[in-house]
């Protein structure tokens, strides 16, 4: 009996991992968060600005308030393994969308194995967003049968990363 992954174009893979940290203000806290993200991922983070003004939080439109890094290839898989270990290799089933993408949060970057506390930088929390796809996912007129489903993504994460979906 043949496996659904006998065809190499049908095998799911990690397309990209986006790591995002919002500190809510510009200046020193944002610079510290950028240094922490760069140390964790080995990639240079980019700054994200507020989309609208929220006076109660002291946030103004266009003010830099967060930073993010996009990882692809082996760097993405390597970081994802560490990030999953930080949450105990457990992901809620509700974290997966219908296209097989999923996200989870890490309360403190110190939860990631191999991370040491630096009192000058403090601690930050972060969101990790993972995009799962197949080879050829970026073709303009991709068919619906080539997209990853929620069930396929869950099975892939269980088999490839030993994740427990709760």
- Let me know if residue 58 belongs to a domain: no
Averaged pLDDT for residues 138-151: 80
Residue 114: other Cβ atoms inside 10 A: 7
- What's the pLDDT band for 78 if we cut at 50, 70, 90? very high
- Let me know if residue 153 belongs to a domain: yes
**Which residues, other chains included, contact 117 with Cβ-Cβ below 8 Å and sequence gap of 6+?**
110, 123
Question: Is pLDDT at 38 greater than 80 in this prediction?
Answer: yes
Total structural domains within the chain = 1
Between 44 and 25, where is the model more confident? Answer: 44
- Let me know if residue 145 belongs to a domain: yes
- Let me know if residue 51 belongs to a domain: no
Give the CATH number for residue 92: 3.30.1440.10
Rounded distance between C-alpha atoms, residue 33 and residue 26, angstroms: 10
Q: If phi over 0 gives left and psi between -120 and 50 gives alpha, with beta otherwise, what is residue 94?
A: alpha
Rounded distance between C-alpha atoms, residue 134 and residue 146, angstroms: 7
- Let me know if residue 92 belongs to a domain: yes
Amino acid 3: pLDDT? 64
**Which residues, other chains included, contact 140 with Cβ-Cβ below 8 Å and sequence gap of 6+?**
none
Q: By residue range, what is the domain housing residue 130? A: 9-21+68-165
Rounded distance between C-alpha atoms, residue 36 and residue 120, angstroms: 11
Chain CA centroid to CA 135, Å: 20
What's the pLDDT tens digit per position in 81-111?
Answer: 999 999 999 999 999 999 889 999 999 999 9
Confidence (pTM): 0.88
Q: Name the phi and psi angles at 106, rounded to 5.
A: -120, 120
For the chain, the distance separating the N- and C-terminal CA atoms, rounded to the nearest angstrom, is 30
């Amino acid at each position: 009996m043949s496996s659904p992954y006998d065809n190499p174009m049908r095998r799911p893979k990690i397309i990209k991992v986006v790591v995002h940290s919002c500190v809510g203000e510009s200046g020193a806290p944002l610079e510290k968060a950028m240094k922490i993200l760069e140390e964790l991922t080995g990639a240079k983070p980019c700054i994200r600005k507020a989309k609208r003004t929220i006076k109660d939080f002291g946030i103004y439109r266009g003010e830099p308030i967060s930073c993010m890094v996009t990882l692809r290839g082996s760097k993405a898989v390597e970081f994802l393994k560490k990030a999953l270990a930080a949450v105990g290799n457990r992901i809620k089933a509700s974290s997966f969308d219908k296209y097989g993408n999923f996200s989870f949060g890490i309360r403190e970057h110190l939860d990631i194995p191999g991370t040491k506390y630096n009192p000058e930088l403090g601690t930050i929390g972060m969101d990790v967003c993972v995009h799962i796809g197949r080879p050829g996912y970026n073709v303009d007129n991709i068919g619906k049968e080539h997209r990853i489903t929620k069930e396929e993504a869950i099975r892939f994460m269980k088999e490839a990363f030993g994740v427990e979906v709760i």
